[in-house]
A = this chain, B = another copy of it.
Amino acid sequence: MAGNTPDFPDRLRAAGLRPTRQRVALARVLFEGGHRHVTAESLHAEVKATRMPVSLATVYNSLNQFRDAGLLREVVVAPGRSYFDTNTGHHHHFFVENDGELHDFPSEKVTIAGLPTPPKGTRLSRVDVIVRVRR
């Protein structure tokens, strides 16, 4: 975390995205601390708090672009509730149904055996495991 100076413009360029003011500001909020789960609304509020003008449409555009570029992973937990996760490595999620909280847990110790092979003509894209809990 310390040790690699994160040059956000360069990271965006490396992902094939122009480092515009808005995208750099969004990347800073998303990636400069530890891993995070955000929604479009929550990220919009955070970035606006840094006094960088950004529209909600741009937040949606950027989140989709970041996801397509592999910088983020999208997690859908409930109808109309989509989170973007800065942790793109292998891991799974706890979802607390009452309050909508999402937590990572590492996949290291988790093993899934006996999954069937994908239907003919398809290739595996990802396996999502969501452990739903209730208070």
Using a CB–CB cutoff of 8 Å, the interface residues on chain A facing chain B are 74, 76-80, 82, 94, 96-97, 103, 105, 109-116, 118-119, 121-135
Report the nearest B residue to A108, measured CB to CB: B114
Q: Is the interface of A mostly helix, strand, loop or mixed?
A: strand
A74 to B97, CA, bound (A): 13
Copies of this protein in the assembly total 2
Contact A113 B114 (CB under 8 A): no
List of B residues within 8 angstroms of A77 by Cβ: 76
List of B residues within 8 angstroms of A80 by Cβ: 79-80
29 CB < 8 A contacts A-B: A76-B76, A76-B78, A80-B80, A94-B116, A96-B122, A97-B125, A103-B119, A109-B114, A110-B113, A110-B114, A110-B115, A111-B111, A111-B113, A112-B112, A112-B129, A113-B113, A115-B131, A118-B131, A118-B133, A122-B133, A122-B134, A124-B131, A125-B132, A126-B131, A126-B132, A127-B130, A127-B132, A128-B128, A130-B130
